[in-house]
Structure 1
Amino acid sequence: MPRSRSPKPRPGTWPPKDGGPDSSVTDSSPSLPGLLPSEVLRLGRSLLLDPERVQDRWIWQHPDWPGFTQDWEHLVEPLGNARQALGRLQMASRVLDPRSAMRVLAEVLAQEGVSSSAIEGEGINPASMAASVARHLGLPVDPTAPIDRNAEGIAAVLMDAMTNRDAPLTVDRLCRWHRALFPESRPGLAIGVLRPGSVHVGSNISEEESIVHFLAMPRERLEPELDRFITWFNDSKGAMDGLVRAGLTHLWFVTLHPFDDGNGRISRALTDLALAQEPIAAPLARMSRCILQGRPDYYAALEQAQAFKNGLNVTPWLRWFLEQTAQACAQSERVVQATLAKGIFWARHAEDPINERQRKALNRLLDAGPDGFQGGMTTRKYAALTRCSPVTASRDLAELVERTCLRSYGAGRSTAYELIWDALLLGQ
């Protein structure tokens, strides 16, 4: 049966280094006598969970589930900030020409696919992900990028959530997404169907003991609960604030945990779908990269929201989600600005005699963005990137400084080179 992908995290830590809402342990045990609620639920490896024996621990056990409530006075500020960030992103993207807009979309979607998988400890080759997205968008594909069926599946889910935003959500659609995420069979994993048993998310603390962070509702409740969620999702479009709806979508689905694995990735795809259904669509507003950067906070926010003791008031979760939405919009805005800067740069240096080595290095710096190339370009890095000698690398870089393509800082062996991003981002 599928188990948590955690190696052995330190006692009491969650999430495991390479696990998350996707990392589940299937449980088909009929009972677990004598198990009582506690702040930390520890299980011997040989024991399995029975949801009926663990009462008043998780939000779905609340008698009023799923009657989520929120304190709007505490959401005004984060909601306003998220709306402003979304507006700035939309304004920035409007100045892009169609070709540049498509390149930005491809980059953002590729980052989304890689990041959503990385949250769950699933490594995806960025080049494979970029090539898969490019194929779906009809853009030129890097012929050297290795083909990855997992990347193809993730790209298919992202594209369906973006391009078929008006199609109703159904159980069949969710199962198609699940099959796309798992293109190859895995022992003990039910693919493309709802989980056959109950399931819990846990991390191992020793060979004999694990900590349970979340227990999903009993299997017999899953179909009616999932139908209720889908009905709400389809009926709530346009009937409530779209950003709050996206936050509730994410929490509700991952709490249902309808699949053996992949629930986190599908919940984030549903978040993308909810955002795409906004009256003013936001295809560049993607959450996974931002969540990945603050992954421990993500799991902590989920664990707090899913705890029975905190009731059905999910204001703290929504505040966290809206703050991440604002940050995600700002990250995508920087991608837009970097794309504009790249166009400005090459227009400015169109007549300069730049050789292919120099062009490759400059494009690497431009693609990395203002904060993406740590330590600047050095002679050693340049030589490795372009496969030339250190002498040639030093000469090429000196020429680029002379043509004001780059500026240098440091001295001697510590000399590094960088683009003049402050001027580029200001369009100067």
Structure 2
Amino acid sequence: MEDWTHWNWQQADWPEFRYDRSKLDALEAEFLRQSGVFSGCIRHVTEEDKEQITVELISEEALNTSEIEGEILNRDSLQSSIRRNFGLDTDNRKIPPAEQGIAQMMVELYRGFDEPMCDTLLFRWHESLMNGRRDLANIGSYRTGSNPMQVVSGPLHDPKIHFEALPASAVPAEMEGFMRWFIRTSPKGETPLPILTRASIAHLYFVTIHPFEDGNGRIGRAIAEKAISEGLGHAALIALSLTINRARKTYYELLERSNKGNEITEWLVYFAQTILDAQAHSQELVEFLIAKTKFYDRLRGQFNERQDKVIARMMREGPSGFKGGLSAENYIRLTGTSRATATRDLLDLVEKQALVRTGTLKSTRYHLYITLQS
């Protein structure tokens, strides 16, 4: 029986995680089935559209993995940096360090998904993530020092400790063990694991060690995506961080419950289902981006500057659309124009089949005229 007064890494069976494999079988099968559907969808888009989809999905992941940690990035700067890293045409804007760093890491993750797991790889990722930081003692290396690494909340006089990582002196040996496990359980390893199982364990295992002074969550999610890509045999375009970010409270609650013992079935089922939800969202987003391309092809050059600004703002909301639909008041606020001009602009957009009008009077709302079909 486990001693719940200690953290999982303090228990005798660490890191021999235990779980009920039967709880994951159906999830693993569904993931493989949906992967085939997604590959079929991507296969039918042009190279130019695929480039756009790749940039969009990677930027969504970068934005959300940062937002989970409380860091809000500039979308336009981030996309510009991602395009530069891919060698694609972009503007000449100056990119802030944070956007530059996460873009570099995410593109490297995509391009080099099959690079062997090692210290050098993780240190490069960490250096990218901490680009521009001056407040850390260890950048591009594991944490040092004698102070405990704790995740806490509440007042200073009575803090609640959600997790305490193992001592910094133990990190190098623990990371050696983690990397041996990651290689051993890979598709070509001695004891390969199913894709979702391996990605879920990898994330929990890594963040439990918490090897870096900062950035562990973002790197941990990148490792999960790397495991998924290795399992599929190609770079995965999956909205994992976006899906986690939508219910981040649940994510942190499950992490906290799972760091108190090494029986992790509950965590694996949660994280595997999260990956499936992320996969479904990626499919929906790809279909939306394909429809978006067709939308602009059909209406290119037909919008005035105000209309173009509002349509672009609505497009940024993705498949879920502008929350509650666009109202005339929204349009006036976004463009700074008069009510009469807003009314003319909106009527024109409806006539062009750029927007669909629903409701009447004060309940009138406008939605993008996009049919989600692959």
- Give the conservation status (yes or no) of the 8 Å contact 1:82–1:326: yes
Question: Normalising by structure 2, what TM-score?
Answer: 0.90
Q: 1:317: how far off?
A: 1.0
Structure label with greater radius of gyration:
1
**Cα gap change, 1:91 to 1:121, in 2 (>3 Å):** same
What per-residue deviation string (whole Å, max 9, x for no partner) do you get for residues 334-366 of structure 1? 11111121233344446x954444344334434
Counterpart for residue 155 of structure 1: 103
Counterpart for residue 10 of structure 2: 61
Distance, in Å, in 2 between the alignment partners of 1:163 and 1:353 is 37
- Give the conservation status (yes or no) of the 8 Å contact 2:153–2:162: no
Q: 1:107: how far off?
A: 0.8
Partner-residue secondary structure (3-state), 2:275: helix
User: Which of 123, 132, 135 is equivalent to 1:175?
Assistant: 123
Counterpart for residue 157 of structure 2: 208
Judge which range, 359-368 or 333-342, deviates more: 359-368
Q: Confirm whether residue 315 of structure 1 aligns to residue 270 of structure 2.
A: no
Distance, in Å, in 2 between the alignment partners of 1:72 and 1:286 is 25
**Cα gap change, 1:199 to 1:97, in 2 (>3 Å):** farther
**Cα gap change, 1:208 to 1:186, in 2 (>3 Å):** farther
- Unaligned 5+ segments in structure 1 are 1-37, 40-55
| Amino acid across the alignment from 1:225 | E
Q: Confirm whether residue 191 of structure 1 aligns to residue 139 of structure 2.
A: yes
Distance, in Å, in 2 between the alignment partners of 1:364 and 1:117 is 21
Counterpart for residue 289 of structure 2: 339
Q: 1:369: how far off?
A: 2.8
RMSD of aligned alpha carbons:
2.4
Structure having greater relative contact order (Cα 8 Å, sep ≥ 6): 1
Partner-residue secondary structure (3-state), 2:148: strand
What per-residue deviation string (whole Å, max 9, x for no partner) do you get for residues 152-209 of structure 1? 1111111222211222221122122112111234335422221113533332322312
Q: 1:387: how far off?
A: 4.6
Q: Which runs of 4+ in 1 moved over 6 A?
A: none
Partner-residue secondary structure (3-state), 1:277: helix
The total of aligned residue pairs comes to: 368
User: Which of 101, 109, 116 is equivalent to 2:65?
Assistant: 116
- Give the conservation status (yes or no) of the 8 Å contact 1:106–1:130: yes
Counterpart for residue 358 of structure 2: 409
Distance, in Å, in 2 between the alignment partners of 1:260 and 1:100 is 39
| Amino acid across the alignment from 1:147 | I
User: Which of 305, 317, 341 is equivalent to 1:392?
Assistant: 341
Partner-residue secondary structure (3-state), 2:159: strand
**Cα gap change, 1:418 to 1:279, in 2 (>3 Å):** closer
- Give the conservation status (yes or no) of the 8 Å contact 1:285–1:328: yes
Q: Confirm whether residue 255 of structure 1 aligns to residue 208 of structure 2.
A: yes
Q: 1:395: how far off?
A: 0.8
Judge which range, 332-341 or 354-363, deviates more: 354-363
Q: Confirm whether residue 328 of structure 1 aligns to residue 275 of structure 2.
A: no
| Amino acid across the alignment from 1:403 | K
- Unaligned 5+ segments in structure 2 are none
Aligned-residue sequence identity (percent) comes to 33
What per-residue deviation string (whole Å, max 9, x for no partner) do you get for residues 255-279 of structure 1? 1111111111111111121122123
Q: 1:386: how far off?
A: 4.1
- Give the conservation status (yes or no) of the 8 Å contact 1:199–1:260: no
Q: 1:300: how far off?
A: 1.3
Q: 1:143: how far off?
A: 4.9
| Amino acid across the alignment from 2:284 | R
- Give the conservation status (yes or no) of the 8 Å contact 2:310–2:335: yes
